[in-house]
Amino acid sequence: MQMFDVAVAGAGPAGLAAALSLVASGVRVALIAPNEADRAPDRRTTALLGDSVNLLKTLGVWQRASGHATPLEGIRLVDDCGGLFRAPEITFRASELGLTAFGANIANAPLVEALLAAAAQTDAIRLTSSVADITPGSDRVTVRLSNGESCGVRLLVAADGRNSLIRKASGIAAESRSYPQSALAVSFAHAKPHQGVSTELHRRNGPLTCVPLQGLASSLVWVEAPEEAQRLAALGDDAFCAVLEEALQGLLGRIHSPGPRGVFPLSVLTAEHMGHNRVALVGEAAHVMPPIGAQGLNLGLRDAAALAEIVADEIVQGGDPGSARTLQAYHRARFFDVVTRQVSIDLLNRSLLSGFLPPHALRGAGLHLLANVKPLRDLVMRSGMGPQGKVPRLMQMPPGTPTPALL
């Protein structure tokens, strides 16, 4: 049986970033992941915020991926609920914080390709299989692979998604619930320039968000009742473009050339602990939330950077990377960030779904304050980009990066 100090299971963006972060921190890593040909194509896009871009720069990934990315210079919020009190339209500009951009939007496919290419340049050991089962023990986790082989690891990093087999087998409970909503995801072309501004329309059934892509194109996440999302996905291209153009109220001009559409049920999941029984959770194995506010993968990348720092420091001190002390330190570093963002997104989403006046009035009052109170605007913009306070070493601005440029 092969033995490893640390193994990462999963080849999505969060798992690959965790493996690369551990290697960059001086940890010997095994990456357990099937061949790329066995994975379904991912047509979604991700809005990466500042700390996430810094991490990818430090890992040598951004240099490979940045040609596919579009800077996010502004974020526009539009009240489209049709309520009695309509909140003012608000546009947050990165320049207000002295930045050129809040981050960048990139298709998941080239991002994963860049992560895989960077991983191939490291000395990480690649086990092209998937985890079939695990048996936690006092000094190791025994991992049985789908190809029949087994290995032992002192710390197993679970990046195997929201239905994580490893999370369940390690005894980590998770609270989950579904929303009466689904998200339709698609990319499309349009006549008017987006000017680097992401637009989020707050609508009664959920937000409709357009995020800039290169040229005259944007990616869309349209949250609707499940049956309506399926209906929209089934429309012909011309009919779909007409409906979207009307929903956007002419914001991006004529809509055309939509790509393949996908519909995803909305849910939330929170693991009760970020690590237990020599298993650490990262990404959607630990937390799932609606696609609102660009938090999902950014949280997963913060998981990766924080875990790598804690594990590397433990090993340097002669400690055990999978010990209860290491996993407690990781839980303390990440759980508050995860839960506070889940709560804030949940409250926003529920305020849109509520038919009662008070939630809409409170949301409108909050938007009025954001429109008129600059210190509050600055606080919300900074907190939206990431938690304030200690930033993992790998997410700090790489040496030689011009300030205030981000991209």
pLDDT digits (tens, 9 = 90+) for 231-258: 999 999 999 999 999 999 999 999 999 9
Helix (H) or strand (E) holding 234: helix 226-234
Cβ partners under 8 Å of residue 365, min gap 6:
none
Which residues in 62-149 belong to E strands, given as ranges?
Answer: 70-72, 74-79, 90-93, 103-107, 125-127, 131-136, 141-145
Q: Is the pLDDT of residue 221 over 80?
A: yes
- Distance CA(256)–CA(258), nearest Å, equals 6
Q: Which phi and psi (to 5°) does residue 305 adopt? A: -65, -40
For the residues 100-107, what does the mean pLDDT come to?
Answer: 93
pLDDT of 407 reads 42
Given this model, what pLDDT does residue 406 score? 40
Q: Mean pLDDT lowest for which of 90-94, 148-152, 391-395?
A: 90-94
Q: Is the dihedral of CA 228, 207, 210, 163 positive or negative?
A: negative
Residue ranges in 269-355 assigned as alpha helix (H): 296-316, 324-353
Indicate whether 355 pLDDT > 70: no
Encoded tokens for 182: 């689904």
Residue 64 confidence (pLDDT) above 70: yes
For residue 260, give the 3-state DSSP assignment: coil
Weakest mean pLDDT among 79-88, 144-153, 170-179? 79-88
pLDDT (mean) for 18-33: 95
Q: Is a pLDDT exceeding 60 seen at residue 359?
A: no
User: What is the β-pairing status of strands 125-127 and 29-32?
Assistant: parallel
DSSP lists the bridge partners of residue 106 as 46
Q: Cα separation of 136 and 278, whole Å? A: 7
CA distance 237 to 341: 35
H/E stretch holding 201: strand 197-203
Separation in Å, CA 187 to CA 251, 334, 403: 16, 32, 32
- In whole angstroms, what is the distance from residue 283 CA to residue 288 CA? 8
- 257-278, pLDDT tens digit by residue? 999 999 999 999 999 999 999 9
CA atoms lying within 13 Å on the CB side of residue 53:
22
E strand or H helix that includes residue 186: strand 174-190
All structural domains of the chain, each given as residue ranges with its CATH number in brackets, are 2-176+266-386 (3.50.50.60)
pLDDT over 60 (residue 172)? yes
Listed in sequence order, the residues at least 6 apart from 196 whose beta carbon sits closer than 8 Å to its beta carbon are 70, 71, 72, 73, 74, 101, 212
Amino acid at 16: L
- pLDDT score of 77: 87
Interatomic CA distance for residues 52 and 383, integer angstroms: 14
- Partners of 221 in the β-ladder: 185, 209
Predicted pLDDT at 35: 77
pLDDT at 401: 53
DSSP letter assigned to residue 214: T
The CB density around residue 191, as the number of other CB atoms within 10 Å, is 12
